[in-house]
Amino acid sequence: NRALFKNVNLEEIKFDKKFDLIVSNPPYLPDVSLKNLNSDIKLYEPKIALQGGVQGVDFLYKIIDLASKILKINGLLGLEIGDNQFHILAKYLNKNRFKILDKYILINKQVRCLLATKL
């Protein structure tokens, strides 16, 4: 009874309490990169699960905006992000009163996940 899992549309979310943790693996691929996807991904992954807008950050921005409203102070936000999005998102997180605590880097030197706290 200490964990609450929700599977809802971002625009429909209404919560009457604040949370300690939000974790998200949203669509983060830039629209242009959808053409070059591996055929297995094209066959088995729905486009809506991949397509993140022009820069791939549309849903990430929405999640950060929502988290700024429903996370407790010092609450944690964990995000999976796309290649070359870390610096864009670091600025947006800072603007929304978050501090990045850690980042998880792949073998190709790209940041794939980040952990931030609400200030």
Q: Is residue 7 part of a domain?
A: no
CATH of residue 101's domain is 3.40.50.150
Selected residue with higher pLDDT from 45 and 81: 81
Q: Give the whole-number percent of the chain exceeding pLDDT 70.
A: 100
pLDDT given at position 61:
97
The confidence band for 36, taking pLDDT boundaries of 50, 70 and 90, is confident
Q: Is the pLDDT of residue 90 over 90?
A: yes
| Total tally of structural domains belonging to the chain | 1
Task: Specify the amino acid at residue 33.
Answer: S
Buried b (16+ CB within 10 A) or exposed e, 48-59: eebbbeebbbbb
4 inside domain: no
Contacts within 8 Å (CB) and 24+ apart, 91-97: 92/57, 92/60, 92/61, 92/64, 93/64, 96/64, 96/65, 96/67, 96/68, 97/68
Question: What are the percentages of helix, strand and coil residues in the chain, rounded to 5?
Answer: 35, 30, 35
Residue 102 lies in a domain: yes
Q: Is the pLDDT of residue 55 over 90?
A: yes
Q: Are 80 and 90 in contact (CB under 8 A)?
A: no
How much of the chain, in percent, has pLDDT values that exceed 90?
A: 62
Range of the domain at 82: 22-118
Indicate whether 28 belongs to any domain.
yes
Residue with tokens 């929502």: 66
Query: Is 11 within the bounds of a domain?
Result: no
